[in-house]
Amino acid sequence: TELEDKPYYPRVKEALTKVFRLQSFRTLQLEVICDVMEGLDVFVLFPTGSGKSLTFQLPAVCQDGMTIVVSPLKSLILDQHRALRALGVDVEMLLGEMADSQRKEVWRRLGSGHVPKILYLTPERLEMDGMRSLLQRLQSSGSLARFVIDEAHLITDWGRSFRDAYVQLNTLRTAYPGVPISALTATASPEVQGDITTRLHLKIHAPWKLSANRPNLDYDVRPKTKNVLSEIADFIKNNHPRETGIIYCSSRDKCEEVAKVLRDKFQLSAKHYHAGMADQDKAQVQEEWSSGRIRIIVATIAFGMGIDKPDVRYVIHHSLPNSLNGYYQETGRGGRDGKPAQCILYYSTGDFYNRLRMIRGNPPSQMRDAEEDDIRRVMGYVTNDVQCRRAQVLAFFHEDFDPVHCRQMCNNCRDNTPCVTEDHTADAQKALRLFESLSRRPRARLTPPQFIAALKGSKAQMQVERGWTNDPLHGSCSHLSNDVLARLIDQMLWHNFLSIEQVRGSKDGYCQNYLTVSLSAAQPAFAQLMPTCPSLGPKRMRCGEASSS
């Protein structure tokens, strides 16, 4: 191709095989590398794991001078530093957390005129005096090859993750004119892309973009029933009897339990993996799984970092992932070899409450709000049984995906039952008003089934005894099926109009879920907020539901 005619191509190709010990470039890597070799600014927008690092590491090795890489995380820097050292690349790093003696040693080497190919820094380091004079010295001697801003989205305040020291990076262009800049990120909406470009003063026509779509992954979402484990066992036995898979669970106990049931009851080759295990046990299980001696690993999200097993044929979520980003990363461990892999997510409202309770067990913070937001978006995903799953996941990454390209590789695109959209705003308002009124009475605690019964106008003894049947709104949603009402209440929960309080019974430790109003009923704002109660999104019409509304 044209790029292979470039004068520096032989050098680049040799570095790929000899230094990085890789066979070929992945999609767009060579394109970006050529721009970098030519001293241009680049903006690289590739999904995680697609090989962004090579786009600056390889040219850094091939070029004279030092490439300064600004990275937000110590762990990322340590990993890349270690990997490059192992390949024999001359690389240095400066971190706030380094031991004094270690940092002095790095400074001594830099001060003596040694110019490593790459210097990794956290952004805070860049502002320090010693660093400024080093960079100025390098620039005047023509040895400042490039600035690389990893996780460049942190420079904008559009997103929720934002870092003060990153904002200062907007001065790089004026402080070091003529030094090219690479900006790298896996996630940026069009607004964020524009903002990054402006703030860094990048001279680019457009970002280099790679879709986050994983066309060989099949996405399926199913409600979780009591029989989930036998469903999972059947799925594995029928579809992947001799193949490798991952089952994600939300807790350590659950991992152990699920692995045990799969082994003992279903004779499957499964073992658990979680952060509570001793390092040597974890290493052993991972090794057994990687080598194929055990086929199924039942793990918390602690499992996955650095997993590069190519032939994972299925990824099952036994409980909800914490976020759509997490879901994308976890399912992304399937089908690395490009062959089909199936991703099944089992969801339940109970798992949602559990997660919410865990999040709310922490002191209030921005982080906590973000986590709550994340799990609500997951609920939005699992309950949207109409829109292409892929399109939904990719929308989370600000990618506009045409479902035609899904090629029936998700359960929503495969399902051709007709869709209906039902607007239940008015019902939701009635329900909230009834709830507000019932919860003002003595013995006011309501469980979700009791609330549904009240909305249906049940004459059950407890409803009568507590006087609920006298409420004018009792029975005001009798035209709706239990299924629709359950869905409605769920939506009000996810949107935070109602919440759940869990009360442990005195006798047997059994937990009962009670509904509570999250927007305090005493607040005058309550009534005003009600009209914004969401309507039920589009849903598939299943047998027997047609007459319900």
Give me the residues paired with residue 516 across strands.
499
Give 25 or 347: the residue with its C-beta nearer to ligand ADP. Answer: 25
Task: Decide if residue 50 touches ligand ADP (CB under 6 A).
Answer: yes
Give the single-character DSSP code of 69.
Answer: E
Helices (H), 141-222: 164-167, 172-175, 190-200
Give 22 or 486: the residue with its C-beta nearer to ligand ADP. Answer: 22
| 477 Ramachandran zone, left/alpha/beta (phi>0; psi -120 to 50) | alpha
Residue reference for tokens 């870092």: 163
Task: Decide if residue 19 touches ligand ADP (CB under 6 A).
Answer: no
- The site map against ligand ADP for 89-128 (x = CB under 6 A) is ----------------------------------------
> Considering only residues 48, 143, 323, 411, which one is a binding residue for ligand ADP as defined by CB under 6 A?
48
How far out from the chain centre does Cα 261 lie? 29
Task: Decide if residue 46 touches ligand ADP (CB under 6 A).
Answer: yes
Could you tell me which stretch among 22-30, 333-341, 387-395, 453-461 binds ligand ADP (CB under 6 A)? 22-30
Could you tell me which stretch among 45-53, 160-168, 219-227, 413-421 binds ligand ADP (CB under 6 A)? 45-53
Tokens matching residue 115:
């110019």
Give the single-character DSSP code of 150.
Answer: T
Measured from the CB of residue 192, what is the shortest distance to ligand ADP in angstroms? 17
- The site map against ligand ADP for 121-160 (x = CB under 6 A) is ----------------------------------------
State phi, psi for 182 to the nearest 5 degrees.
Answer: -110, 130
Q: How far apart are the first and last CA of the chain?
A: 61
Can you tell me whether residue 217 is helix, strand or coil? Answer: strand
Task: Decide if residue 182 touches ligand ADP (CB under 6 A).
Answer: no
Find all residues with CB under 8 Å of 293, minimum gap 6, and list them.
Answer: none
User: How far, in Å, CA of 349 to CA of 330, rounded?
Assistant: 21
Cα dihedral 453, 459, 465, 466 sign = positive
User: How far, in Å, CA of 221 to CA of 214, rounded?
Assistant: 17
Give 22 or 40: the residue with its C-beta nearer to ligand ADP. Answer: 22
Task: Decide if residue 25 touches ligand ADP (CB under 6 A).
Answer: yes
Task: Decide if residue 328 touches ligand ADP (CB under 6 A).
Answer: no
Task: Decide if residue 215 touches ligand ADP (CB under 6 A).
Answer: no
SS3 sequence, 72-129?
A: CCHHHHHHHHHHHHHCCCCEEEECCCCCHHHHHHHHHHHHCCCCCCEEEECHHHHCCH
Measured from the CB of residue 78, what is the shortest distance to ligand ADP in angstroms? 13
User: How far, in Å, CA of 376 to CA of 496, rounded?
Assistant: 9
Measured from the CB of residue 52, what is the shortest distance to ligand ADP in angstroms? 3
Task: Decide if residue 335 touches ligand ADP (CB under 6 A).
Answer: no
Task: Decide if residue 43 touches ligand ADP (CB under 6 A).
Answer: no
Measured from the CB of residue 338, what is the shortest distance to ligand ADP in angstroms? 13
> Considering only residues 22, 106, 395, 521, which one is a binding residue for ligand ADP as defined by CB under 6 A?
22
Measured from the CB of residue 332, what is the shortest distance to ligand ADP in angstroms? 10
Measured from the CB of residue 149, what is the shortest distance to ligand ADP in angstroms? 13
Give 16 or 246: the residue with its C-beta nearer to ligand ADP. Answer: 16
Measured from the CB of residue 328, what is the shortest distance to ligand ADP in angstroms? 12
Measured from the CB of residue 48, what is the shortest distance to ligand ADP in angstroms? 4
User: How far, in Å, CA of 159 to CA of 196, rounded?
Assistant: 11
Amino acid at 164: D
Q: Which residues bind ligand ADP (CB under 6 A)?
A: 22, 25-26, 29, 46, 48-54
